[in-house]
Amino acid sequence: MNVTLKVWRQKNSKSKGHFETYKLNDLNPDMSFLEMLDVLNEQLIHEDKIPVEFDSDCREGICGQCGLTINGRPNGHHHHTTTCQMHMRHFEDGDTILVEPLRASAFTVIKDLKVDRSAMDRIMQAGGFVSVHTGSAPDANSLPIGKMDAEDAFDSAACIGCGTCIATCKNSSAALFTSAKITQLATLPQGEIEREKRVVAMVDAMDAEGFGSCTNTEACEMECPQEISVTNIARMNFEYNRALLLGKK
């Protein structure tokens, strides 16, 4: 199959970016989107041109580091997948494909399609930990946890921190990401010690990084590769208001 790519090229965060057009021929429809970009880079190197910079790691739909905006949608039009799980068979022969970095006010472009998502790391550093006793491993049944609580925690912990929800949101809100991390720990007894301190610190860190506010359009849940539920946002709001009532801020 043959496609035309319009790829965002930007030298660094201070440079003005622009689209460049490339044509690729005889692509295998079964190759992944990232494999197609590898073919593009091989072609550019052969032509003594600078290859396109983009992030990737596992290429198995697990880590989410590969996030790109494809034809205006984070990770493309194939629902609940990462970019690396988008395959060329999801496009038509002769298509023109627009490829951009994840767009969000808190995500600065490092180069081309690669963005700085360290703001999400700083939210986690603000409160994404628990205090536990060190030493020998406890007995498995010494801290009983209900099945529903465990399932809820696992569902929230499925968040891979890819930033798709932020790039999808019209306000560039990090509410879904932050709430998933807060709910994961608030649901379990191990997270009880820092419960109030955690939610206040992480929400404050989210605001300080310049992320926008949530307006409950639920676009984040629709595009999330792990299908993280917006009910996590309700839980975050509950935890935050509870902390305020307890005078923890």
CATH of the domain at 45: 3.10.20.30
Residue where a domain terminates, one of 111, 139, 163: 111
Q: Three-state DSSP class for 84? A: helix
Distances (CA, A) of 128 to 161, 179, 194: 13, 11, 9
Pairwise CA distance, residues 186 & 239, whole Å = 8
Contact 35, 94 (CB under 8 A): no
Domain match, 81 and 99 both: yes
Domain match, 105 and 135 both: no
**CA-based nearest residue to 106, from 244, 183, 212, 17:** 212
Domain match, 70 and 135 both: no
Q: Give the mean pLDDT of 44-61.
A: 96
Domain match, 103 and 132 both: no
CATH at residue 154? 1.10.1060.10
Number of domains in the chain: 2
Domain match, 20 and 83 both: yes
Domain match, 128 and 188 both: yes
Quick: pLDDT tens for 127-161. 988 887 777 776 766 777 888 989 999 999 999 99
Quick: pLDDT tens for 211-229. 999 999 999 999 999 999 9
Contact 218, 228 (CB under 8 A): no
Domain with 15 in it: 3-111
DSSP 14: T
- Please give the pLDDT value at position 140: 64
Confidence of residue 116 (pLDDT cuts 50, 70, 90): very high
- Please give the pLDDT value at position 135: 76
- Please give the pLDDT value at position 120: 97
